[in-house]
Amino acid sequence: MSELNRIGIDLGGTKISAVRMNSAGEVINRRRLASPQDNYQETLQTITDLVLSLEQGQVCHVGIGTPGAETHSGGMKNCNSTWLNGQPFRVDLERSLNRPVRIANDANCFALSEASDGAGQGAQSVFGVILGTGVGGGWVINGDIVQGVNGIAGEWGHNSLPNPDEEERPGPACYCGRTGCIETWLSGPGLSADYKRQAGVSLTAEKIIASCNTEARAAKALDRYCHRLARSLATVINICDPAVIVLGGGLSKTEQLYQRVPELWSQWVFSDEVRTKLLPPKHGDDSGVRGAAWLWPAD
């Protein structure tokens, strides 16, 4: 079935995006609509209708990316679309679409997209990092997502910030119940909160980055951010040693990161030479849908 087109669906809490892609990675068609809220049956029906409208009678492979993961018993867990939690989502979709369906975590889809035909194309090991509202990650080796026995491989955002100084201890409270998680420092809200603690006024992450060439407090916030990202990614390198780390999410648009973080991270990497590359994403906001489509790899 590998010559078939593939449909990738990014199922978010508020929006569903979908693309139909050929085996060369060219987008044939796309759709975007609002996610049904709080209604599992309607979510199933919406995705089924979406697939049928995109394939127009030519059966396609179907891959879905969504926050959360499938448990060993087949139910979903950790979904921000909470009405999916506990439901046998994949099995129900397979029944409804009458074919196999593949589902993966959205951060894993991002990493797979960039590893398949994005910034990490051709690299044996690609670590994808999401720096957005939250901090997530995924790891792809030889074109395959590393799932892990607990289904959490690549989830570095709820490790503690490494090598904290006095001011960084114990760190901000995290929704996961711990303090000082990487996510509380490196997410967009984390950067914004750091700026507020130091400068005394609120500014969004986007505005901090936009004003860092003209405003000293913003420049310092970006300095701290680069230092924390470098420390955090050094631990990723020490454990996974990927050829490429690709950044995604809103903060991946911060150009300064790609030069400054690799200048800093060698202080904490256990190697006198660091060959890992830090790269911006090639597919930007499309990585979620493209990675979901690449859950069915080309030959």
- From residue 276, alpha-carbon distances to 7, 197, 263 in Å are 32, 33, 12
Amino acid identity of 267?
Q
3-state DSSP of the chain: CCCCCEEEEEECCCEEEEEEECCCCCEEEEEEEECCCCCHHHHHHHHHHHHHHHHCCCCCEEEEEECCEECCCCCEECCCCHHHECCCHHHHHHHHHCCCEEEEEHHHHHHHHHHHHCCCCCCCEEEEEEECCCEEEEEEECCEECCCCCCCCCCCCCCECCCCCHHHCCCCECCCCCECEHHHHHCHHHHHHHHHHHHCCCCCHHHHHHCCCCCHHHHHHHHHHHHHHHHHHHHHHHHHCCCEEEEECHHHHCCCHHHHHHHHHCCCCCCCCCCCEEECCCCHHHHHHHHHHCCCCCC
Give the number of other CB atoms < 10 A from CB of residue 291.
33
Q: Does 135 sit near Zn ion (CB under 5 A)?
A: no
Binding footprint of Zn ion, residue count (CB under 5 A): 5
Question: Which CB atom, from 96 or from 159, has the smaller least distance to Zn ion?
Answer: 159
Shortest spacing between CB 182 and Zn ion, in angstroms: 8
Question: Which CB atom, from 99 or from 178, has the smaller least distance to Zn ion?
Answer: 178
Question: Which CB atom, from 178 or from 282, has the smaller least distance to Zn ion?
Answer: 178
Pairing outcome for strands 125-131 and 244-248: parallel
Cβ(261)–Cβ(229) under 8 Å? yes
Q: Does 176 sit near Zn ion (CB under 5 A)?
A: yes
Q: Does 173 sit near Zn ion (CB under 5 A)?
A: no
Question: Which CB atom, from 193 or from 219, has the smaller least distance to Zn ion?
Answer: 193
Shortest spacing between CB 158 and Zn ion, in angstroms: 4
Question: Which CB atom, from 181 or from 222, has the smaller least distance to Zn ion?
Answer: 181
- Please identify, among the stretches 5-13, 45-53, 140-148, 155-163, the one whose residues bind Zn ion according to the rule CB under 5 A: 155-163
Q: Does 181 sit near Zn ion (CB under 5 A)?
A: yes
Q: Which two tokens stand for residue 126?
A: 């690609």
Shortest spacing between CB 180 and Zn ion, in angstroms: 8
Question: Which CB atom, from 57 or from 177, has the smaller least distance to Zn ion?
Answer: 177
Q: Does 232 sit near Zn ion (CB under 5 A)?
A: no
Shortest spacing between CB 290 and Zn ion, in angstroms: 28
- Please identify, among the stretches 24-32, 123-131, 169-177, 263-271, the one whose residues bind Zn ion according to the rule CB under 5 A: 169-177
Question: Which CB atom, from 236 or from 292, has the smaller least distance to Zn ion?
Answer: 236
Shortest spacing between CB 134 and Zn ion, in angstroms: 9
Q: Does 171 sit near Zn ion (CB under 5 A)?
A: no
Looking at the chain, how many residues does it have? 299
Question: Which CB atom, from 16 or from 181, has the smaller least distance to Zn ion?
Answer: 181
Cα 123 to chain centroid distance, Å, stands at: 18
Q: Does 161 sit near Zn ion (CB under 5 A)?
A: no
Q: Does 174 sit near Zn ion (CB under 5 A)?
A: yes
Among residues 6, 61, 102, 158, the one that binds Zn ion under rule CB under 5 A: 158
- Please identify, among the stretches 56-64, 80-88, 158-166, 274-282, the one whose residues bind Zn ion according to the rule CB under 5 A: 158-166
- Please identify, among the stretches 8-16, 87-95, 117-125, 151-159, the one whose residues bind Zn ion according to the rule CB under 5 A: 151-159
Give the residues lining the site for Zn ion (CB under 5 A): 158, 174, 176, 178, 181
